[in-house]
Structure 1
Amino acid sequence: MLATPGPLPSAAVEDGWAFEVKQDGQRAVIYLPGDGTILLRARSGTDITTAYPELLPLAHALGTRSAVLDGEIVALDDRGRSDFERLQQRMGLAGSPTKAARMAGQVPAHLMLFDVVHLDGRLLTGLPYAERRGELEGLRLAGPAWSTPAAITGHGAEAWEMARGAGLEGLVAKRLTSRYEPGTRSKTWVKIKVHRVADVVIGGWVPGRGWLSGLPGAVLVGERHDGLLHYVGSVGTGWSQAERIRLAELLQSAPADTCPFTQVPPVTGARWVLPRLVGEVRYTSRTRGGRLRHPSWHRLRADLTPDDLT
């Protein structure tokens, strides 16, 4: 079951919703048949059990009880927040158990459990979220590499401020009456991301294809530090058609022969421009190298020049 992007439920209805921290990792379904074995499957259905050897002891956590659990495998940073960039070092190692075991010592994975869909031979998908959550918490699953993070009923605004202040990715709001709908992106689960804003300088663009021919498919942006323009990412979403056409006119009027960034971005087909246009973009987080994650265009800042950002 997948969540639909949306706004925070209003105060008038928030008592009918539970709020969980949105984790940034690899979604997994965990099969515990109760015979001392465990099977982890990714969203694609791929068996990823051997990629995460630190989760193998979970096979014994329920004794002979059987269960199918839903959760997110994450790698935590030094502040206890999920860090997808760190987890990427662990992903794709199901076919290399020796390397997976070595990486487990360097970048430990942690399983955040948030639902139970089958328990002791009973299919629970027809039960409301509140009842499934009660079943999950009753299992008391807390171990060296797995846990059951708290869910808060109501108090959505407070949960949101906590997530934003802690630098978390966001929240997932789940209607207390919602059934579990496998394979469905449901409006009874809503993911609300914490978006951050940055003022950036456009240093290049990549032409679009098809109906976007002649228009920017993406702009290459940077931030000014110590008088230099450092590349922070490519932005390819967030424009209306009118905004894209206007931006194309501005970009085509300011071509440059050389790349204005301190290092040439590894982008095929890039066209450079004089770094004089400032834009405001929204993003969810940054990589350790400073790149923007999930950036989207917000607006052109005609009121700012690159010199205003130094």
Structure 2
Amino acid sequence: MTLPLIAPMLATPGPLPPAAQDTRWAYETKQDGQRAVVYLPGDGTVTLRARSGEEITAAYPELRGLGAALGGTAAVLDGEVLALDEGGRADFQALQSRMGLAHAPAKAARMAAGVPVHLALFDVMHLDGESLLRLPYRRRRDLLEGLALRGPYWSTPAALVGHGEEALRATRAHGLEGLVCKRLDSPYEPGVRSRSWIKIRNMRGTDVIVGGWLPGKGRLTGLPGSLLLGQRGAGGLRYVGAVGTGWSEAERAELAALLRADATDVCPFDPVPRLRGAHWVRPRLVGEVRYSTRTRSGLLRQPSWLRLRPDLTPEESSADLPDDVV
């Protein structure tokens, strides 16, 4: 069967729905992986396409068995490809070693043995020759769950109707990326960033020590485009990433003056990060950032600048690496 190409529906960042509307929404765990639309023509084969439309089937050979699992049923499914850590949580850093291998099937097969992926399915847009785009989310979920797709490398995680506050608290307590809220009566809107799907990312806060900066471009030439951040580890100040968002133009100018006053030719980080064009500073400035998660090596993912902390010296701040960072 020839299946229609369907662009994935996208969620809009926002808060939890009002408590009075809670029972009109379903809540799913926000997964930290690679979005994939899955095409199953009913002949035992499977094709995966990324959000961009690029075919990525060959990057994940362990998912080929999904075609046989569905048998003669033709379907287009929506999901997320994940790499899971020992605790069953999505590990994006591990997944990165699998992404980009669509044109290297031999390497993808070798990597699958050491870093297997898991496909979490959460929607169905086409089934048995019929478009389901106009059906409400609740009905599409019923149809998806009726397919009973649970296997060694794929599953259909549960969606909770109502109890949004409790669901969000649970994701935070378990260190998960966040929550996606989906209106029960919403149709599937291909390629649209819709208010019918709301994503909430769990953000954490931490103190950091500024150890350098990278210059901006264009109108920001000569000004910091991003700050290079560090936290104290066993061997000294460890580089934990760069932040380039979260400040106003006035704050950028203030930071530029402070950075110039502390300029040095000596990199304060150990080991020295490989960053072209970096300007180093004496590690005196303390700041506070928000971030989503950390990589296993301690790098902050999706950091955003909150504020400078002139009230704290580096010794007084809590800018220490977590004990479990490798």
Tell whether the structures are fold-level matches, with TM greater than 0.5: yes
Deviation at 1:214, TM superposition (A): 2.9
- Structure 1 stretch displaced more, 110-119 or 126-135: 126-135
Deviations 1:56-81 (A, max 9, x none): 11102222111100000111000001
Aligned residue for 2:66, secondary structure, equals: helix
Deviations 1:59-113 (A, max 9, x none): 0222211110000011100000111111111112222222222211111111000
Alignment RMSD? 1.3
**Alignment partners' CA distance in 1, 2:182 and 2:81:** 20
Partner of 1:166: 174
Is the aligned partner of 1:195 residue 2:190? Answer: no
**Which residue of the other structure, out of 78, 91, 95, is the alignment partner of 1:83?**
91
Matches within 5 A, 1:17-166: 17-166=25-174
Q: Quick one: structure 1 residues 143 and 226, their matched pair in 2 at CA, closer, same or farther if it must change by over 3 Å?
A: closer
CA contact (8 A) 2:239 2:269 kept: yes
Partner of 1:308: 316
Deviation at 1:226, TM superposition (A): 4.5
Aligned residue for 2:37, secondary structure, equals: strand
Deviation at 1:263, TM superposition (A): 2.0
- Structure 1 stretch displaced more, 138-147 or 43-52: 43-52
Is the aligned partner of 1:225 residue 2:233? Answer: yes
Deviation at 1:165, TM superposition (A): 0.8
- Structure 1 stretch displaced more, 243-252 or 200-209: 243-252
AA of the residue aligned to 1:29: V
Deviation at 1:262, TM superposition (A): 1.2
Partner of 2:5: none
Deviation at 1:5, TM superposition (A): 1.4
Partner of 1:263: 271
Aligned residue for 2:179, secondary structure, equals: strand
Partner of 1:205: 213
Aligned residue for 2:282, secondary structure, equals: strand
Q: Quick one: structure 1 residues 227 and 56, their matched pair in 2 at CA, closer, same or farther if it must change by over 3 Å?
A: closer
Aligned residue for 2:19, secondary structure, equals: coil
AA of the residue aligned to 1:251: L
Aligned residue for 1:307, secondary structure, equals: coil
| 5+ residue gaps, structure 2 | 1-8, 321-326
Deviations 1:149-177 (A, max 9, x none): 01111111111111011111111111112
- Structure 1 stretch displaced more, 9-18 or 277-286: 9-18
**Alignment partners' CA distance in 1, 2:286 and 2:233:** 15
Deviations 1:127-148 (A, max 9, x none): 1111111111111111111000
**Alignment partners' CA distance in 1, 2:72 and 2:281:** 65
Deviation at 1:269, TM superposition (A): 1.3
Aligned residue for 2:64, secondary structure, equals: helix
- Structure 1 stretch displaced more, 168-177 or 1-10: 1-10
Deviation at 1:215, TM superposition (A): 2.0
Partner of 1:252: 260
- Structure 1 stretch displaced more, 214-223 or 7-16: 7-16
AA of the residue aligned to 2:307: R
Deviation at 1:305, TM superposition (A): 0.7
CA contact (8 A) 1:142 1:148 kept: yes
AA of the residue aligned to 1:121: G
AA of the residue aligned to 2:259: L
**Alignment partners' CA distance in 1, 2:11 and 2:250:** 31
Deviation at 1:278, TM superposition (A): 0.3
**Alignment partners' CA distance in 1, 2:94 and 2:28:** 22
Aligned residue for 1:276, secondary structure, equals: coil
**Which residue of the other structure, out of 7, 21, 35, is the alignment partner of 1:13?**
21
CA contact (8 A) 2:206 2:289 kept: yes
TM-score normalised by structure 2 residue count: 0.92
